Structure 1
Amino acid sequence: MPQRLTPLSPDGSELTIEALRQIAPSCITEVKDPQSGAIRQVVDFDVLRTLLGDRSVEAGTEMYSFIWPGKQAARREAATPITDTLRPVLEESVDWDSTENLYIEGDNLSVLKLLQRSYVGKVKMIYIDPPYNTGNDFIYNDDYTIDRDTWARQSGERDEEGNQYRKNPDTNGRFHSDWCSMIYSRLLLSRSLLTDDGVIFISIDDNEVYNLRKICDEVFGASNFVAQMVWERAFAPKNDAKYVSNSHDYVLMYAKQIANFKIGRLPRTAEANARYSNPDNDPRGVWQSDNLSVKTYTPENDYVITTPSGRRVEPPAGRCWRLSSKAFEERLRQNRIWFGSDGNGVPRIKRFLSELRFEGMVPTSILFHKEVGHSQAATQALNKLMEGGYFDGPKPLGLLRRLLTMANLAPDSIVLDFFSGSATTAHAVMQLNAEDGGHRKFICVQLAEETPEGSEARKAGYKTIPDIAKERIRRAAVAIRNDLENEKVRAQAKFAKVAMGEDVDKDPELWSNLYDDVERSQAQERLDSIDKRKESLDTGFRVFRLDSSNFIDVKRTPAELGQGELDLMLDNVKTDRSGLDLLYGAMLSWGLSLSLPQEVTVVDGCEIYNVDEGELVAYFAKAIPTTVIEAIADMQPKRVLLRDSSFASDKEKINTFELLKQHLNWDDKEVLDKVRVV
């Protein structure tokens, strides 16, 4: 008989055992659970110690480590499975049927647990801007020394919606410990989501940067540290500072496996290009002169050069020319040697910008605000977009764009931000796709933190931070599409002039690589590129909201239930849950992406859900007629999910599975592997 689909998120130990299996399979064995009798996979520590040899250490031995009160509890919490689920919110989504972007509301620790099966090893880049622990900002209430509900009742530190966040004043005896526990458990879960060549960026300031470095060294490995970048956050110093005007924040950068990571290089800047000019009107374009002499001495390259003015020039003492005399004469005939504007200078070789072999500029560890923006400009830009000041301290779009470049994303990479705030990450991903035609996807996670009573945001109708963020994404989408349309209008005007052979001034923003004699085909390619980018651009997002399990609590025994409750337990699905709730909960349990396309087929008035053309076919109605079973089989499913209460009896259930076997030509094992009930 097919098994029930588990409503639990993955146990952290499962992921650890799987990782051990990849590198040390001989230490994995099986035992029988003494209570359930089920066979479980476990680690044989004697075998593991043998494999490690003298590289293992016994408990109690002095060793280098970073310890704080609550660390072990935070580690256990990260590994503890949960029964929560993510419920789709179609009415707040944009382009639900076609988008691959996700916006998730809820406690990010729980969300990270729920994403483990579906997104393990799939996220190319993570960016987070967590609370800095200044004593005034909120942190998640992750005190695991007692039961969560008990703690919340005793401390009164849970809000009206049940969210676990609170202020962490510096008078708290666990000021640093609480923050470390909060970030530690989340980073432990985030690492498994990264691809082998993935990278994480974390914004932080002086309050916790030293602790965060130690935590990241443990979670990601000190050898995978890439950089601690300094972001010039402030546009101008604060003259009222008591001691020193703090003008910077940090961005920590760690790779999942640094041997697999390749840094994304930066495009040439206008400042770098400005060093190139064309004083002799060379038809090959702008150039820069370079020293013709070298330190490595070669006798055959030590000769005299005569300038156009007749002056004889020898290499500097101890040096020679980089070119042989024959190669020099060839470059001279090609007008690649420069003797100065008067023809009397020391010879130099011309390097043309158009011929430059350039893979990009290496990023630096200092992020200057003139290149990536500063906090004041970020606030002004967001206020303009939102037509009001509703969010404090957003990160500048330019900063996220720089990090996206450094992450060396593929055109279809996934970018995760689980402290997403005002959704700058989502904005930056959409804009990058608009510029280069990529299909990168974002996953944003944000706690439904309420906006303050009486604030401008609350007055404007934004009750929570996600309300602001979702509207920011919608408005950013409109602005990005408008920019593309404006680019097309200008390109069409340019195309018309080029087609008519008119001599027009170049628009450096759009046509820096096109000259007045550009061919019609080049202009047409530009127009086609804009149309393709507009057509492929994904500016939608599916909204999901963290909630309790879709299923009624069945921890109590029948003896503890009244007759009315027993009747309710015949169907274990909560009465307020829809078929879509069950479908997406099942997708998380089965490890399917939440962005997969999904459609509904109606057969005899019954709805059948088909995810990604048969990856998962699900049916949740109260009865299951034969025509529905046949329709499910016609969809050639790889997985089938049915509602247990759809069957009037075990006999009917067995008959249904036999029909599936016949229509799909499955054997008993395939049915057990591919069919689940809820």
Structure 2
Amino acid sequence: MQKLEGKTFNVVQDNIEKIKELFPEVLTEKKIDIDKLRIALGEHVEKEKERYEFNWNGKTEAIQLAQKQTTGTLRPSIEESVNWDTTQNLYVEGDNLEVLRILQNSYRNKVKMIYIDPPYNTGKDFVYKDDFHDNVKSYTEQLDENMKSNAETNGRFHTDWLNMMYPRLKIARNFLTDDGVIFISIDDNEYTNLKKICDEIYGEQNFVSNIIWYNKEGGGGSDSKFFRIKHEYILCYAKSIDNLEIKGVEISNLDRYTQSDEYEKRRGPYYLQKLNQASIQYSSSLDYPIISPEGEELYPAINEKRACWRWSKEKVEWGLENGFIEFKKDKDGNWQVYSKQYLKVDNNDKPIERTQRPLSVLEGYSSTQASKKLEELFNGKVFDYSKPVNMIKTLVEISTNENDLVLDFFAGSSSTAHAIMDINANSGENRRFIMVQLPEKTDEKSQVYKLGYKNLCDVGKKRIVLAKAKIDEENGTAAKIDAGFRVFKLDETNLKKWDEESIDVEKSLLDFIEPLKEGRTKEDVVYEILLKYGIDLSVPIEEVSIAGQTVFSVGLGYLLICLERELTLNQIEEMAKQRPARIVFYDEGFKDDTVRTNAQQILKRFGVEDVRVI
């Protein structure tokens, strides 16, 4: 029987396996020979000491942090969850670096869109300092302290921010689907540095846009000495630019669609656009005659100057046959050729409304108004600044489809979750979300603390509940959306033998008899097993009884987990008859060595090949 690995996904080993698959010749005694790899890559290797790169103190450790495995886990908190049994959404409390590491195996290549609003590093933001040796323990200790801001007087002001952001963005890329996209809000303080690390992590070729967001109403802010600043940025990168699809938005100048014809039912109204154009690069293949209604040969020349048709000869012939070309005489009596630009795309059965590419400037979304709406939702002041729900809705709508998964690992007040529920309510679709937030304490003097919210996670979870009530109120009925969420909290591993602090996994007889840490439950262990296996945390789990023993059936019997002791061959055979794809036992759960030896053969006889012990 194979032992289940107690650590999270091994990124380094995965990279090595990929290199071995591409270049088997570089393997020397199970290790990568760098000199052979350099030869395999030919001339595409930078050898100069002076080269273009972006460096700072601690960058190497930041890269290693992104690669480091952890034995940390996420413990379920059913009592703080909403609709635990049915929801597909997650709310995770904890340091997002550790949470991303832990979730990585279960959600690798499954997230369509990431939106984050990280600390802008204004000198007042809290910037978490990671601990390479044991970040989970460091995190739990930090929760008991007052979290300190990254003051501008700090000698490594930008460095500390980069060391926080780099490993998180590096791991986040692994979550994205091949056609996935990430949006990152930022302002002038760290825009330049963020752009550089994103170019490195996601690739310059996968840069999509730098979206300008007008975040203030009226004349802009007075917090700058020389200019009234009224904008921030949203950097956008694709996992792979070749696979990315950004959906069009509603056409802004609808008033020009004024004409109609016999195709209006399928194509809607239209406007005319001249088919000849001088501004495009000249091509002889686009310089050909089109026959007018009077049999005259018409060329694309404009005022006797060389020009081109916008369409190829073949497309013009198609347009003439299908009613997309119109001829009209100008004031001088000369025939002009126009294409009909219909409002709808005619695909026969289901006409599609024409859209246009979204602008790289977002207007009409004020952070001040967003804070006021949040205040109305909570019936009291929560934050001075908040991200507008409608702005996030715009980003989600242009980059995701039904059933897509959205991740926000700087969740704050859960504006992203609110946006997704709003979209689902209006569209009848079902996007899912994962919110990750550090339970940073609220200021005891603040209004939000006086409202009863002791940390940011309290605010975020309540926001989701209040948002659902608001959506129902606006719809006049209960919206049929998934507004629940399963709450999980970051903690050290449940098993003593998996603890990173352990020097000897068999250090005491007591640990052998009772492998669970004090206060941990079987349910805690079940979810830790799911994470180590790489299974979605929203999968259904049923507690069943098989041959008198409690068994957790995961994913309608796909995986069985039995954490009982003194198991007999008869009991194991009854479990095998359920024909799961996988099954997990305690390492010391068998009645004796004979049972342990024969158990695998029984399981194999019933087609159960993946048998693990913990």
What is the TM-score normalised by the length of structure 2? 0.84
From the superposition, tell whether residues 361 and 101 of structure 1 become closer, same or farther in structure 2 (CA, over 3 Å): same
Counterparts in 2 of 1:105-144, with a 5 A limit? Answer: 105-142=93-130
User: Is 2:437 aligned against 1:446?
Assistant: yes
2:182 to 194, 200, 208: 200
In structure 2, the residue matched to 1:522 is: none
From the superposition, tell whether residues 641 and 651 of structure 1 become closer, same or farther in structure 2 (CA, over 3 Å): same
Kindly indicate whether the alpha-carbon contact (under 8 Å) linking 1:302 and 1:321 is maintained by their aligned counterparts in 2: no
Distance 2:20 2:473 in 1: 51
Distance 2:194 2:7 in 1: 30
In structure 2, the residue matched to 1:495 is: none
Kindly indicate whether the alpha-carbon contact (under 8 Å) linking 2:112 and 2:177 is maintained by their aligned counterparts in 1: yes
1:209 to 174, 191, 215: 191
From the superposition, tell whether residues 434 and 29 of structure 1 become closer, same or farther in structure 2 (CA, over 3 Å): farther
Kindly indicate whether the alpha-carbon contact (under 8 Å) linking 2:565 and 2:591 is maintained by their aligned counterparts in 1: no
Kindly indicate whether the alpha-carbon contact (under 8 Å) linking 1:141 and 1:166 is maintained by their aligned counterparts in 2: no
**Which amino acid is the alignment partner of residue 257 of structure 1?**
S
- For residue 411 of structure 1, report the CA deviation from its aligned partner: 2.0
From the superposition, tell whether residues 25 and 591 of structure 1 become closer, same or farther in structure 2 (CA, over 3 Å): farther
User: Is 2:609 aligned against 1:676?
Assistant: no
User: Is 2:498 aligned against 1:555?
Assistant: no
Could you say what secondary structure the match of 2:435 adopts?
A: strand
In structure 1, the residue matched to 2:7 is: 8
Distance 1:335 1:7 in 2: 67
In structure 2, the residue matched to 1:540 is: 484
- For residue 437 of structure 1, report the CA deviation from its aligned partner: 3.1
Kindly indicate whether the alpha-carbon contact (under 8 Å) linking 1:584 and 1:594 is maintained by their aligned counterparts in 2: yes
- For residue 194 of structure 1, report the CA deviation from its aligned partner: 1.4
In structure 2, the residue matched to 1:508 is: none
1:172 to 154, 167, 184: 154
Kindly indicate whether the alpha-carbon contact (under 8 Å) linking 2:327 and 2:337 is maintained by their aligned counterparts in 1: yes
User: Is 2:82 aligned against 1:94?
Assistant: yes
1:161 to 131, 141, 144: 144
In structure 2, the residue matched to 1:377 is: 369
In structure 2, the residue matched to 1:75 is: 63
- For residue 598 of structure 1, report the CA deviation from its aligned partner: 1.4
Distance 2:389 2:553 in 1: 38
Kindly indicate whether the alpha-carbon contact (under 8 Å) linking 2:127 and 2:149 is maintained by their aligned counterparts in 1: yes
Kindly indicate whether the alpha-carbon contact (under 8 Å) linking 2:274 and 2:336 is maintained by their aligned counterparts in 1: no
After superposition, what is the alpha-carbon deviation per residue over 1:526-547, rounded to whole angstroms, capped at 9, x for unaligned? xxxxxxxx65x32221111100
- For residue 134 of structure 1, report the CA deviation from its aligned partner: 0.6
**Which amino acid is the alignment partner of residue 7 of structure 1?**
G
From the superposition, tell whether residues 55 and 281 of structure 1 become closer, same or farther in structure 2 (CA, over 3 Å): closer
Distance 1:92 1:207 in 2: 37
Distance 2:56 2:336 in 1: 66
After superposition, what is the alpha-carbon deviation per residue over 1:345-368, rounded to whole angstroms, capped at 9, x for unaligned? 99988655356775521122212x
Identical aligned residues as a percent? 37
In structure 2, the residue matched to 1:256 is: 239
**Which amino acid is the alignment partner of residue 607 of structure 1?**
T
**Which amino acid is the alignment partner of residue 188 of structure 2?**
D
From the superposition, tell whether residues 627 and 484 of structure 1 become closer, same or farther in structure 2 (CA, over 3 Å): farther
From the superposition, tell whether residues 300 and 105 of structure 1 become closer, same or farther in structure 2 (CA, over 3 Å): closer
In structure 1, the residue matched to 2:396 is: 404
In structure 2, the residue matched to 1:53 is: 42
- For residue 297 of structure 1, report the CA deviation from its aligned partner: 7.4
Kindly indicate whether the alpha-carbon contact (under 8 Å) linking 2:98 and 2:136 is maintained by their aligned counterparts in 1: no
Counterparts in 2 of 1:477-488, with a 5 A limit? Answer: 477-484=468-475
Could you say what secondary structure the match of 1:393 adopts?
A: coil
Counterparts in 2 of 1:642-653, with a 5 A limit? Answer: 642-653=585-596
Counterparts in 2 of 1:177-196, with a 5 A limit? Answer: 177-196=159-178
After superposition, what is the alpha-carbon deviation per residue over 1:165-202, rounded to whole angstroms, capped at 9, x for unaligned? 53100100110111111101111111122122211111
User: Is 2:569 aligned against 1:587?
Assistant: no
After superposition, what is the alpha-carbon deviation per residue over 1:224-244, rounded to whole angstroms, capped at 9, x for unaligned? 111111111111223575321
1:360 to 343, 355, 361: 355
Counterparts in 2 of 1:243-282, with a 5 A limit? Answer: 243-259=226-242, 261-269=243-251, 271-277=252-258
**Which amino acid is the alignment partner of residue 592 of structure 1?**
I
From the superposition, tell whether residues 63 and 292 of structure 1 become closer, same or farther in structure 2 (CA, over 3 Å): closer
After superposition, what is the alpha-carbon deviation per residue over 1:276-312, rounded to whole angstroms, capped at 9, x for unaligned? 346999986644354587668766646889xxxxxxx
Distance 1:658 1:432 in 2: 51
Larger radius of gyration: 1
1:418 to 409, 421, 427: 409
**Which amino acid is the alignment partner of residue 44 of structure 1?**
D
Q: Which has the higher helix share?
A: 1
Distance 2:544 2:289 in 1: 82
Counterparts in 2 of 1:213-252, with a 5 A limit? Answer: 213-236=195-218, 237-239=220-222, 241-252=224-235
After superposition, what is the alpha-carbon deviation per residue over 1:428-483, rounded to whole angstroms, capped at 9, x for unaligned? 22222233333322111111111111322222221111111111112222333454
Could you say what secondary structure the match of 2:75 adopts?
A: strand
- For residue 21 of structure 1, report the CA deviation from its aligned partner: 3.7
Kindly indicate whether the alpha-carbon contact (under 8 Å) linking 1:81 and 1:113 is maintained by their aligned counterparts in 2: yes
RMSD: 3.9
Kindly indicate whether the alpha-carbon contact (under 8 Å) linking 2:409 and 2:436 is maintained by their aligned counterparts in 1: yes
**Which amino acid is the alignment partner of residue 8 of structure 2?**
S
Distance 1:641 1:334 in 2: 64
From the superposition, tell whether residues 45 and 578 of structure 1 become closer, same or farther in structure 2 (CA, over 3 Å): same
Counterparts in 2 of 1:425-504, with a 5 A limit? Answer: 425-484=416-475
Could you say what secondary structure the match of 1:644 adopts?
A: coil
Distance 2:201 2:566 in 1: 49
Distance 2:302 2:45 in 1: 61
In structure 2, the residue matched to 1:608 is: 551
**Which amino acid is the alignment partner of residue 199 of structure 1?**
V
Compare 349-358 and 16-25 and name the one that shifted more.
349-358
Compare 419-428 and 351-360 and name the one that shifted more.
351-360
Distance 2:6 2:203 in 1: 32
Kindly indicate whether the alpha-carbon contact (under 8 Å) linking 1:101 and 1:540 is maintained by their aligned counterparts in 2: yes
Could you say what secondary structure the match of 2:203 adopts?
A: helix
**Which amino acid is the alignment partner of residue 152 of structure 2?**
D
Compare 390-399 and 178-187 and name the one that shifted more.
390-399
Compare 200-209 and 119-128 and name the one that shifted more.
119-128
Structure 1, unaligned runs of 5 or more: 32-41, 306-314, 489-533
Kindly indicate whether the alpha-carbon contact (under 8 Å) linking 2:559 and 2:582 is maintained by their aligned counterparts in 1: yes
Structure 2, unaligned runs of 5 or more: 279-285, 296-300, 347-351
Distance 1:168 1:598 in 2: 43
Could you say what secondary structure the match of 2:244 adopts?
A: coil
